[in-house]
Structure 1
Amino acid sequence: MPQPQPTREELVEAGRAFERRLRQAQTSLEHTLVTGRSADGTVVVLASGLGQLKAVQVSPAVFDTRDVAALQQAITQSIRAAAANAAALAGEKLGAVEINLH
């Protein structure tokens, strides 16, 4: 036996429920922090679950070596790791998404 077609009101309510779930997930992601660490652990980036960059923490040890290239690489690694962690968290809450830190 074929399934009955949903009424207009049922479709509208399903759309509203979906929108509520998306807004709740967005609010949750806005208030959740993710981290990204460089491979050597000298740089940590904090970002929201939506990919908004919040802070960069640099270990004082990087200033002892004064290796600019290593510091640049560590910052890049930690930003990429934070973006990947934000995307994974958003994916859990919303489904597949792309996160770009800004």
Structure 2
Amino acid sequence: MAAAGRALEQRMRSAEAYLITTEVRGRSDDGTVSVTANGLGTLRSVQVDPAVFATADAEALAAAIAQAIRSAAANATALARQRMGPVEINLY
């Protein structure tokens, strides 16, 4: 059982190291904002299309930023599930 615990710990450490260095992206529905995060969901950058400033619509820009961040978070979650897989714990 100890060997299985060590193997699980190593798998989780390896997955975490991968997720820290892997980038995911998210985009707003209208495509005006995109964000980059790592696989753990830590935001790295935000890119805003300069065209959004022509409308001077702060609420729309705020909504687009929120959408892009949610999209990146969903992509990070999917990547983490894919990389880490299901965790099964058996107690005897």
Shared fold (TM-score, shorter chain, > 0.5): yes
For 2:57, the equivalent position in structure 1 comes to: 67
Mapped to 2, the partners of 1:20 and 1:74 lie a distance apart of 39
- Structure 1, unaligned stretches of length 5 or more? 1-10, 97-102
Mapped to 2, the partners of 1:95 and 1:16 lie a distance apart of 16
Please report the RMSD computed on the Cα atoms of aligned residues, expressed in angstroms: 1.0
Q: CA deviation at 1:95?
A: 3.5
Mapped to 1, the partners of 2:50 and 2:8 lie a distance apart of 47
The answer to whether structure 1 residue 14 and structure 2 residue 14 are counterparts is no
Mapped to 1, the partners of 2:85 and 2:4 lie a distance apart of 18
2:44 alignment partner, SS class: strand
Mapped to 1, the partners of 2:85 and 2:57 lie a distance apart of 40
Structure with the larger RCO, 1 or 2 (CA within 8 Å, 6+ apart): 2
TM-score by length of 2: 0.89
The percentage of counterpart residues that share the same residue type is 57
- Structure 2, unaligned stretches of length 5 or more? 87-92
User: Aligned pairs, how many?
Assistant: 86
